[in-house]
Structure 1
Amino acid sequence: MSVKPFVIDVRSVPRRAGSMVEVDRTVVTPDRIGAEMIGIPADSDVHLDLRLESVTEGVLVSGTVSGSTEGQCGRCLEALDDSVSVYLTELFAYPDSETDKTSDDEDVERIVDEEIDLEQTIIDAIATELPLSPVCAPDCAGLCQICGVRLADAEPDHGHEVIDPRWAKLADKLVDPEPDGSEGGRA
């Protein structure tokens, strides 16, 4: 049997419109949640602070989901540690309610066997909150395009003399005069 940390039993929520139950718990996510370069790692704590409210057509879930993120800077590839917090609002329709009968499967979440599964809702909310290309600092200079050194760690005069390949043959033809007046090779 697989662990489903984001499944919540809703039997404790009375089916009277306006009834509410609060859920405040920390669960461990079995899989990584997030974008390619940053996310909540697998086997990490995710805190759920939710309100489950009974409405005519189902259970309205609202509240925050938060967790610590790990990743790497999109410019210099340094490790990043941060956190993410998202606010959820999602209706889970009762079986055989008008919402259940008149909505496509993709349009509304449903209560199945008196349980709601928040996993996809949480994955979607966190993925849209996290940056596609996170940075360690807004002014991160990234990596040197020639040698790959992190520019924040490089000397202030770091640079490379690069000759345009279209002019490289001419470089051999150009000579700098030696201090004694004779012609020598390019320095």
Structure 2
Amino acid sequence: MPGTRNSPESAITLTRLDARDPYVVDTRQLGRQPGSMRTVNRIVTVPDAFETAMASVPKGQETELDLRLEAVMEGVLVTGTVRGRLTAECSRCLDPLSEELEAGFQEMYRYAADDEESLGGDEGANDEDEDYYLEGDLLDLEPVVRDAVVLALPLSPLCGPDCPGLCAECGAKLADAGPEHGHGDGVDPRWEALREIAEKPEQQ
């Protein structure tokens, strides 16, 4: 029906977001008044692993969100920090490791296009695919948090800066094998038989 899309009631009804989802934040307290601000702190559970090839924050892991929500002309600016614990494999010795992770993020959630028009602004109308938008008064933090965590995960995690890694010949962990670990003169055993044949004329 004409005129119903801009009403707060219809916007909330049509949203696909669930206000009970811990990643969903209700911004009604800001009143869409530029300059108004509120803070939010909550514990959320990772729904699906935030991961790279060698590190992850596993599914079911609890993380803490510290958020600051600021109303601006275009929408709501969210500045936040996510804290949790990552698990990984050392990129040199492959030992499992676990350490604290902290990642910061800042993202603008724009008012829906109809709301922007009513406020007299059309900025961002051409980059709808790249921007985040409020759905009614709700915003979904999960994709922003996921991106921030994945970018903060180490690409080459190490159990220690001086980890010597694994022996290239036998795969032994060099930190446990000690400095005396070695493999003779380093001749590839596949060439040993040929070397013995070459040395036989000299032995006759």
The two structures have a TM-score, normalised by structure 1, of 0.84
Q: Which residue is 1:55 aligned to?
A: 72
Deviation of the 1:173 alpha carbon: 3.5
Please say if 1:90 is aligned against 2:107: yes
Q: Which residue is 2:41 aligned to?
A: 24
Q: Helix, strand or coil: the match of 2:177? A: coil
Distance 1:68 1:99 in 2: 41
Q: Which residue is 1:145 aligned to?
A: 168
Distance 1:166 1:149 in 2: 22
Distance 2:122 2:191 in 1: 67
Q: Residues 64 and 87 of structure 1 are in contact (CA less than 8 Å); yes or no, is this contact kept in structure 2?
A: yes
Q: Which has the higher strand share?
A: 1
Distance 1:106 1:139 in 2: 44
Please say if 1:163 is aligned against 2:187: yes
Q: Deviations over 1:20-74 (max 9, x none)?
A: 1110111111211132211211111110000011101100000211111111111
Deviation of the 1:168 alpha carbon: 4.8
Identify which of structures 1 and 2 has the higher relative contact order when contacts are C-alpha pairs closer than 8 Å and 6+ apart: 2
Q: Which runs of 4+ in 1 moved over 3 A?
A: 1-5, 98-101, 164-168
Deviation of the 1:127 alpha carbon: 1.5
Please say if 1:41 is aligned against 2:73: no
Q: Which has the higher helix share?
A: 2
The two structures have a TM-score, normalised by structure 2, of 0.78
| Match among 122, 131, 147 for residue 108 of structure 1 | 131
Q: Residues 124 and 131 of structure 2 are in contact (CA less than 8 Å); yes or no, is this contact kept in structure 1?
A: no
Q: Residues 76 and 142 of structure 1 are in contact (CA less than 8 Å); yes or no, is this contact kept in structure 2?
A: yes
Q: Which residue is 2:143 aligned to?
A: 120
Q: Which residue is 1:65 aligned to?
A: 82
Q: Residues 86 and 101 of structure 2 are in contact (CA less than 8 Å); yes or no, is this contact kept in structure 1?
A: yes
C-alpha root-mean-square deviation of aligned residues, in Å?
2.5
Q: Which amino acid aligns with 2:198?
A: K
